[in-house]
Amino acid sequence: MLCLPTLGFMHVDAGALTDFARGCAVLGSGGGGPADVTLPVAGQAIEECGPVPVVDPAALPADALVMPVGLVGSPAVSAERIGGRDEPARLRARFETLHRAPVAAVMSSEIGGLNGCVAVAWAARLGLPLLDADSMGRAFPRMDQNVLELAGLRPGPAVLADEHGHTVVIDDVDGAHLEQFARAAVVAFGGRAASTDYPLTAGQAARYAVAGSVTRALALGRGEGPAPLLTGKVSSVRRYATEGADGDDATGVLLEGAGPDVGRLVLVEARSEFVAALEDGTPLAVVPDVIALVDATTGWAVPVEEVRYGLRVHLVTLPSAPAWYTPSGLRLAGPSAFGLAGLGGPGGHGGVAQGGSPIARSRPPQGGTP
């Protein structure tokens, strides 16, 4: 097992890991799987291999090979089956064989949700630095909903592996077909797989990836985010199927304001993630904005499937990466991609309120810094 020594870069260490996971949970926008599930996995990897260096893509040679990583499949299955320790090593071996070059760094395919900590764990296990960047800047349900797809990078060769030693390579496909074929492989694997896709160089990561996503997650987890748009309680939760052939699962959450927000009602709509927040029919935030419900007691962002009646929450919204507000970004992951065509948002600023972060108010004291 390779364990990278301290090299003088910024690091994610054991003391900073919980803050990082909290921030990843917020960036999950209610989806991406529960970050607290992979938190102990990353913690064990750091305990055994040491802190993970976090580097800017521009600090590496432009032609250095970068391996984006994450888990693909059902978040519920991923939570139950974290996988074996050898999966990242097998991904790396196949990845390096396909590219005929050594991997210089790991990058998270999806900083939001459980995959942020997955990238930390695998970087530690592989003895590689982690780029301060990712492919989404948040969580999205589809593999092709990433900024590398927007930049025109090839999805393949993509590699998927399970904990039983099975490996699948998908190549010569566009993003939509990668999603289709990878999901079929995931079903065959039993509902989850370790993956790497959209291979790139450090130079391409510096140009196209979402910059600063690791440091953003750390800052959010430390309570350096915006004030909530509303504080109150969940007064109703409605789960239903959307119209159309797909019949995707949807959730409507009605928030009733409390304290200074008493008398206000905000409807939060969700698919796999929270996709819209509306007050009196007026959008406060709409996907690709990040929309999170932060538990007023614990300071952890609540996944869509765990929202329940009576839960006291803070409604928090954040802007996503600028690429998501371009015409092509909105086509791929804007309102129309989630059945909300015609619903305009507040213009990409996420309706950010000023003031203290609800995470800072709610979270218990934490020690340690990177």
pLDDT digits (tens, 9 = 90+) for 104-142: 999 999 999 999 999 999 999 999 999 999 999 999 999
Using the predicted structure, report yes or no on whether residue 355 has a pLDDT greater than 90. Answer: no
With beta carbons less than 8 A apart as the criterion, state whether 287 and 275 touch. Answer: yes
Task: Quickly name the fold that domain 230-356 has.
Answer: CV3147-like (2.40.390)
Secondary structure (H, E, C), the chain: CCCCCCCCCEEECHHHHHHHHHHHHHHCCCCCCCHHHHHHHHHHHHHHHCCEEEECHHHCCCCCEEEEEEEEECHHHHHHCCCCCCHHHHHHHHHHHHHCCCEEEEEECCCCCCHHHHHHHHHHHHCCCEEEEECCCCCCCCCCCCHHHHCCCCCCCEEEECCCCCEEEECCCCHHHHHHHHHHHHHHCCCEEEEECCCEEHHHHHHHCEECHHHHHHHHHCCCCCECCEEEEEEEEEEEECCCCCCCEEEEEEEEECHHHCCCEEEEEECCCEEEEEECCEEEEECCCEEEEEECCCCCECCHHHCCCCCEEEEEEECCCHHHHCHHHHHHHCHHHHCCCCCCCCCCCCCCECCCCHHHHHCCCCCCCC
User: What are the structure tokens assigned to 170, written together?
Assistant: 């998908």
Supply the mean pLDDT for the chain: 90
The pLDDT assigned to 8 comes to 39
Using the predicted structure, report yes or no on whether residue 333 has a pLDDT greater than 90. Answer: yes
pLDDT band at 86 (very low <50, low <70, confident <90, very high): confident
The pLDDT assigned to 213 comes to 98
In the CATH scheme, what is the homologous superfamily, with its name and number, of domain 10-221?
CV3147-like domain (3.40.1610.10)
The pLDDT assigned to 362 comes to 62
The pLDDT assigned to 16 comes to 95
The pLDDT assigned to 75 comes to 73
- Overall residue count recorded for the chain in this entry: 370
pLDDT in tens, 128-183: 999 999 999 999 999 999 999 999 999 999 999 998 899 999 999 999 999 999 99
Which residues, at least 6 apart from 241, have a Cβ–Cβ distance to it below 8 Å? 247, 248, 249, 250
Residue found under tokens 């993970």: 52
pLDDT band at 208 (very low <50, low <70, confident <90, very high): very high
Distance CA(296)–CA(178), nearest Å, equals 39
Residue ranges, comma separated, of all CATH 2.40.390 domains in the chain are 230-356
The pLDDT assigned to 93 comes to 97
Residue ranges, comma separated, of all CATH 3.40.1610.10 domains in the chain are 10-221
The pLDDT assigned to 346 comes to 55
Say which residue, 215 or 369, is predicted with more confidence. 215
Single out the residue of 198, 249, 225 nearest to residue 316, CA to CA. Answer: 225
Distance CA(294)–CA(301), nearest Å, equals 4
Distance CA(322)–CA(329), nearest Å, equals 9
pLDDT band at 241 (very low <50, low <70, confident <90, very high): confident
Using the predicted structure, report yes or no on whether residue 353 has a pLDDT greater than 90. Answer: no
What mean pLDDT is predicted for residues 210-232? 96
What mean pLDDT is predicted for residues 262-270? 98
Between the two ends of the chain, the Cα-to-Cα distance in Å is: 23
Single out the residue of 139, 126, 129, 119 nearest to residue 42, CA to CA. Answer: 119
The pLDDT assigned to 361 comes to 57
Which residues, at least 6 apart from 329, have a Cβ–Cβ distance to it below 8 Å? 147, 150, 288, 323
Using the predicted structure, report yes or no on whether residue 7 has a pLDDT greater than 60. Answer: no
Using the predicted structure, report yes or no on whether residue 99 has a pLDDT greater than 90. Answer: yes
Output the pTM of the full model: 0.91
The pLDDT assigned to 25 comes to 98
Give the range among 93-107, 242-256, 280-294, 355-369 with minimum mean pLDDT.
355-369
- Looking at residue 223, its amino acid is G
Say which residue, 78 or 238, is predicted with more confidence. 238
The pLDDT assigned to 242 comes to 76
The pLDDT assigned to 82 comes to 63
Q: Report, in angstroms and rounded to the nearest whole number, the Rg of the chain calculated over CA atoms.
A: 19
The pLDDT assigned to 266 comes to 98
Single out the residue of 178, 167, 182 nearest to residue 90, CA to CA. Answer: 167
Give the range among 29-33, 186-190, 247-251 with minimum mean pLDDT.
247-251
Percent of the chain with pLDDT over 70: 87
